[in-house]
């Protein structure tokens, strides 16, 4: 009896021992490919960026279920830059130097992207940036999967002009680099289209602005000049909810003065009662309500992954979906995760997007996307009212600004992010000294 017990114990102990050694040796031998996720999980931007972290984790998990990449498993390395712009640069350095990640998916605000640019250039790594932005940039190490202004702002304005007959414009934005650059492009575009200067007002409010009474009254007054008026809103983040609440309370209906927003998606609408907002517009390259099989599957997976049926999907998530799949394809094509080889393999890569088309990575490191205009519905979703027939290629340097009209980005033939087509030379680093320093930030 005693001996049997001892024998059993021995066997059990032995089994346990071999099991653990097997496991440790397996994990030591099995090399993983590390993928960095650089999104704020605390601070002001956590509201938007946490979702993207979850989306990346889901994509990586799915890729592992499919057998990983190059025969290895993918491993996510998540860091929290805490909405602190200099910390973004530090965390990026940590991801590349210490964790030796093969690529980084991250950043949301333009200022955070600007702050990590030098790090990625110095250490020659890859960043996938998933958010719509102001353009006027093309870097060797960065792949822009969000919309450039010509993939969002310009088609939205065209829609308002043609469908709604808008003649008077309020360009309302938060006071930082993205709205300022976008509004500069839009103002020039409108003037080129023959809109009179007195029919445009440009207005800025601080980050997190919450008392919109005067601003909304001003819009109302501007809109009562006998011409059809619309608001183009680049208002960002937390300021949107009070803005829409005030619009609703002062009785500005979408039929009278429609507001088209570039930073308001499903996620932002989750905090408001959208009943009074029906008909206001947003321009994106993806909406959760897009009706096709790929999207339905994606939403289902997302709900299963988060365990919450109410979680919405949005445009930057789709951008990560496209960017991640492009990276996977490029790594497979290059046969290695070496940044130089992958950067060379990425342009020309084609992957299906979630709106039924196929997006392609262009030589200027932007992608082709459809532009969708959606109207807010009372269930917090958007209904597509207009869609470009073909995919729009992202333009790094706007054709509507005199100083950037002559610039071109091409990393395949020209190997340059800012080639001056008039002087026939690459401007290189000098022109890249962007207005990042003078920028105001939220905290």
Partner 1 sequence: MVLIRTIIAALFIVFSALAAQTASAQDDDPALRQAIAGLGAEKGYSKLRKAIGIVVETGDPRGARVLDALSEGDVYRRETDGAVFIVSGRGKQLTLLDPVTGDETGTAAKSDLKKVRVNNSVRRSVREAIGALTLGAKDPGVRMSAARTMIDNPDPDSLDAIDTALDKETDADVRDALQQARAGAIILSDRDVSEKVSAIETIRDMGGQQALSLLVRARSGAGAEMREATDAAIASVRKRLQYWSLGQNVWYGLSLGSVLLLAAIGLAITFGVMGVINMAHGEMVMLGAYTTFMVQEIMRTSFPGLLDWSLPIALPLAFLVAGAVGFAMERGVIRFLYGRPLETLLATWGVSLILQQTVRTIFGPTNREVSNPSYMSGAFQLGELSITWNRLWIVVFALVVFGVLLYAMNRTSLGLKMRAVTQNRRMAAAMGIRTPWVDALTFALGSGIAGIAGVALSQIDNVSPNLGQGYIIDSFMVVVFGGVGNLWGTLIGALSLGVANKFLEPFAGAVLGKIFVLVFIILFIQKRPRGLFALKGRAVET
Among the listed ranges 55-63, 103-111, 276-284, 347-355, the one in contact with partner 1 (CB under 8 A) is 276-284
- Report the residue number, 50 or 301, with the smaller CB distance to partner 1: 50
Select the residue interacting with partner 1 from 158, 383, 387, 420 (CB under 8 A): 383
Is residue 215 a contact residue for partner 1 (CB under 8 A)?
yes
Is residue 225 a contact residue for partner 1 (CB under 8 A)?
yes
Select the residue interacting with partner 1 from 251, 309, 390, 438 (CB under 8 A): 251
Is residue 245 a contact residue for partner 1 (CB under 8 A)?
yes
Is residue 303 a contact residue for partner 1 (CB under 8 A)?
no
Among the listed ranges 2-10, 21-29, 103-111, 374-382, the one in contact with partner 1 (CB under 8 A) is 374-382
Considering only residues 304 through 343, tell me which ones interact with partner 1, judged by CB under 8 A. Answer: none
Is residue 12 a contact residue for partner 1 (CB under 8 A)?
no
CA angle 189, 193, 196 (to 5 degrees): 95
Is residue 194 a contact residue for partner 1 (CB under 8 A)?
no
Strands 350-352 and 358-360, by their bridges, are antiparallel
Is residue 439 a contact residue for partner 1 (CB under 8 A)?
no
Considering only residues 67 through 126, tell me which ones interact with partner 1, judged by CB under 8 A. Answer: none
- Report the residue number, 212 or 327, with the smaller CB distance to partner 1: 212
Cβ 188 to partner 1, closest distance in Å? 21
Among the listed ranges 22-30, 45-53, 64-72, 416-424, the one in contact with partner 1 (CB under 8 A) is 45-53
Is residue 435 a contact residue for partner 1 (CB under 8 A)?
no
Q: Exposure pattern of 46-64 as b/e (b: 16+ CB <10 Å)?
A: bbbbbbbbbbbbbbbeebb
The CA distance from 196 to 198, in Å, is 5
Cβ 442 to partner 1, closest distance in Å? 9
Is residue 260 a contact residue for partner 1 (CB under 8 A)?
no
Residue 414, φ and ψ in degrees, nearest 5: -85, -20
Select the residue interacting with partner 1 from 218, 303, 329, 333 (CB under 8 A): 218
The CA distance from 36 to 96, in Å, is 8
- Report the residue number, 134 or 266, with the smaller CB distance to partner 1: 266
- Report the residue number, 90 or 164, with the smaller CB distance to partner 1: 164
Is residue 206 a contact residue for partner 1 (CB under 8 A)?
yes
Q: At which residue do the structure tokens 């395949």 appear? A: 412
Cβ 219 to partner 1, closest distance in Å? 11
Dihedral-angle region of residue 100 (phi above 0 means left; psi in -120 to 50 means alpha; beta otherwise):
left
Residue 267, exposed/middle/buried by CB under 10 A (0-12, 13-18, 19+)?
buried
Q: Are 384 and 299 in contact (CB under 8 A)?
A: no
Is residue 242 a contact residue for partner 1 (CB under 8 A)?
yes
Select the residue interacting with partner 1 from 254, 264, 299, 416 (CB under 8 A): 254
Is residue 241 a contact residue for partner 1 (CB under 8 A)?
yes
Q: What number of chain residues touch partner 1 (CB under 8 A)?
A: 56
Q: At which residue do the structure tokens 């990983």 appear? A: 68
Select the residue interacting with partner 1 from 246, 315, 360, 410 (CB under 8 A): 246
Neighbouring-strand partners of residue 142: 127
Among the listed ranges 124-132, 202-210, 344-352, 407-415, the one in contact with partner 1 (CB under 8 A) is 202-210
Cβ 144 to partner 1, closest distance in Å? 25
Site string for partner 1, 159-178 (x = CB under 8 A): ----xx----------x---
Residue 213, φ and ψ in degrees, nearest 5: -55, -50
Select the residue interacting with partner 1 from 18, 20, 25, 250 (CB under 8 A): 250
Q: Contact residues for partner 1 (CB under 8 A)?
A: 41-42, 44, 46-47, 50-51, 163-164, 175, 203-206, 208-211, 213-215, 217-218, 220-221, 224-226, 238, 241-242, 245-246, 248-251, 254-256, 258, 267-268, 270-273, 278-279, 281, 375, 377-378, 383, 385, 443
């Amino acid at each position: 009896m005693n001996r049997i017990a001892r024998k059993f114990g021995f066997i059990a102990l032995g089994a346990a021992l071999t099991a653990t050694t097997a496991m440790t040796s397996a994990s030591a031998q099995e090399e993983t490919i590390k993928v960095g996720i650089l999104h704020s999980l605390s601070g002001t931007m956590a509201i938007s960026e946490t979702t993207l972290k979850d989306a990346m984790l889901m994509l990586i998990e799915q890729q592992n279920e499919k057998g990983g990449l190059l025969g290895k498993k993918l491993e996510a390395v998540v860091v929290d830059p805490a909405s602190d712009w200099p910390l973004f640069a530090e965390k990026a350095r940590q991801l590349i130097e210490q964790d030796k990640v093969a690529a980084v998916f991250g950043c949301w605000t333009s200022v955070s992207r600007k702050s990590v640019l030098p790090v990625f250039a110095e250490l020659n790594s890859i960043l996938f940036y998933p958010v719509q932005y102001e353009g006027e940039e093309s870097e060797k190490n960065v792949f822009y999967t969000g919309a450039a202004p010509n993939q969002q702002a310009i088609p939205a304005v065209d829609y308002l002009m043609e469908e709604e007959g808008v003649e008077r414009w309020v360009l309302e934005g938060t006071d930082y680099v993205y709205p300022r650059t976008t509004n500069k492009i839009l103002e020039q575009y409108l003037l080129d289209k023959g809109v009179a200067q007195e029919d445009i007002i440009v207005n800025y409010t601080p980050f997190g602005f919450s008392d919109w009474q005067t601003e909304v009254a001003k819009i109302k007054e501007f809109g009562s000049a006998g011409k059809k008026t619309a608001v183009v809103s680049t208002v960002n983040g937390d300021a949107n909810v009070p803005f829409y609440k005030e619009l609703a309370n002062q009785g500005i209906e979408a039929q009278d003065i429609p507001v088209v927003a570039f930073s308001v998606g499903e996620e932002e609408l989750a905090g408001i009662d959208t009943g009074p907002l029906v008909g206001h517009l947003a321009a994106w390259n993806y909406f959760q309500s897009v009706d096709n099989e790929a999207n339905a599957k994606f939403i289902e997976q997302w709900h299963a992954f988060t365990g919450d049926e109410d979680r919405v999907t949005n445009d930057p998530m789709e951008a990560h979906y496209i960017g991640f799949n492009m990276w996977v394809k490029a790594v497979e094509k290059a046969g290695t995760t070496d940044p130089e080889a992958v950067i060379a393999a990425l342009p020309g890569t084609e992957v299906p997007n979630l709106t039924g088309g196929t997006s392609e990575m262009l030589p200027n490191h932007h992608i082709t996307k459809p532009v969708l205009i959606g109207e807010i519905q009372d269930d917090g979703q958007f209904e597509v009212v207009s869609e470009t027939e073909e995919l729009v290629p992202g333009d790094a340097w706007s054709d509507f600004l005199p100083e950037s009209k002559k610039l071109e980005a091409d990393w395949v033939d020209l190997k340059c992010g800012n080639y001056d087509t008039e002087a026939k030379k690459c401007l290189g680093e000098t022109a890249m000294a962007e207005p990042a320093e003078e920028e105001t930030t939220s905290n």
